[in-house]
Structures are given as structure tokens and as C-alpha cells.
Amino acid sequence: MTALFTIDLQAVRIVRAETKTQILGALADCFSEVYGLDRVSVLERVEERETLGSTGFGRGVAIPHARLEGLARPVAAFFRLENPVDFASSDAMPVDCVFGLLSPEQAGATHLQALAAISRLMRDERMHERLIAAPDADAIYALLVNVIDRDAA
């Protein structure tokens, strides 16, 4: 079995942001730079999804996601925020980890499976603590890929 989504080392970042809007803009920038996607389209789709309800997952995690034309498979980005930011999460806690996911427009079940995998990963309190404690983006990437590859096996 292969991983449900791809995450590139360059899409794992430690980010300074003050607002949810800045985070979504940084995600659009990241998906554009790393995966060659149109920044405006990414931002529009992610913002459109946020209008349906916050993707603030709770316990310090947000999972902004959307479906986008032109993708061959789901791709992800991960940000650890330098300072927690209000994301209008259901538990009212600010977020310090943001896991962005974009899937192909027609990837109904695949998109939901990838979201579920990210959700399971981010619900693991020990993993969350390790991601926060990791010294840099390379260490964060190693933690994520280790779990993603293990779960795909």
C-alpha cells in the first residue's frame, strides 16, 4: 500500500504568522512553490472551505483542506507556528500545528481517507509534543515521514 498523500521536505516549515488569514496565505504560497500549483486557486479553494466552518481541529491543530483541479494525487504541507494563532477552533484553543491537504477534484474517498490519516496522526498527543519539540523543519519532516510510511505499510 502506498501513502495516502505526498509531503515534500520543502513543504514542512516553521512559520511566523499572526492570523488565520496569514496562515492560509502562507499555505497557498507553499503549495505554489513546492508543488507548482496556482497560488490564487489554492487560496480561493482553502478560504472557500473555511467559510463552511473552521478547519481548526482542536487541541492546537488545524487541518485546512480543499479539492483542486489538476492534481494527480493528494499533496500536503505542514507548518509549526512560532506562536499559537486563533483559528476559530471548536475548542477555542489557538493552533500551533497546521497540516494542509489538497486533493484532486474528483478524489472523494481518497480525500476523506487522507484527512482521516492526518487526523489520527495529529490526535496522537505524543506525536504532537514531538512535532512541537523538534529542533527544525528537517526533524519535523523525519517524524512525519516515519509515521506516514509506517501507516502505509
Given a contact cutoff of 8 angstroms between Cβ atoms, the answer to whether 148 and 74 are in contact is no
- Please give the pLDDT value at position 90: 87
Q: Which segments of the chain have a pLDDT < 50?
A: 1
pLDDT score, position 146: 86
pLDDT at 2: 57
CA distance 41 to 35: 13
Retrieve residue 92's grid coordinates: 477555542
Say what the pLDDT of residue 1 is: 39
**Per-residue confidence (pLDDT) for residue 152, from 0 to 100:** 55
Q: What is the pLDDT of residue 93?
A: 94
pTM: 0.94
Give the catalytic positions in this structure. Answer: 65
Are 80 and 15 in contact by the 8 Å Cβ rule? The answer is yes
Q: Any idea where the domains of the chain sit in the sequence?
A: 6-152
CA 136 to mean position of chain CA atoms: 17
Tell me which residue of 146, 120, 141 sits closest to 77, measured CA to CA.
141
Q: What is the pLDDT of residue 150?
A: 66
The CATH number of domain 6-152 is 3.40.930.10: yes
DSSP 8-state assignment for residue 146: H
Q: Note the pLDDT of residue 151.
A: 62
